[in-house]
Amino acid sequence: MEGMYDTEKRIELVKKRMHEYHRRQERRTVCRLSVLCTLLFLSLVGAMEIMQSQPINATGMYGTILLHEGAGGYVLVAVISFTVAVVITALCIKFRNRGQKSQDAEDHV
């Protein structure tokens, strides 16, 4: 029976398929995150254009230096960008840890 594989060969093929599946899944995740970042960037550019076209009246708000002379849009973009960067960093760390755990599991098999 030449078509049959021995156990070691089957385990090796399963590991190879699992590794390929995880790589494809990681590529899809990176693609999705890239699209999300692009959409977020475009929406931030749109928000900046809207903020610049509508001047902010901050004369009644004493102590609001950040909103003086239309700087509010820049502050909004900075806060949103920082929040998105933190979320993306947390997701990358999560995926890296998951990848290390699956690699450790493969090594033990």
**Do residues 70 and 51 touch, judged by C-beta distance below 8 A?**
yes
Tens-place pLDDT, residues 52-63: 665 555 454 444
Of 35, 36, 102, give the one whose Cα is nearest residue 94: 102
Compute the half-sphere exposure of residue 17: CA atoms within 13 Å on the CB side of its CA.
Answer: 6
Question: Which is more confident, 40 or 103?
Answer: 40
Q: At 83, is the pLDDT very low, low, confident or very high (cuts 50, 70, 90)?
A: confident
Domain boundaries, the chain: 7-108
Top-confidence range, 15-24, 34-43, 78-87, 91-100: 15-24
DSSP 45-81: HHHHHHHHHS----TT-TT-GGGGGGTHHHHHHHHHH
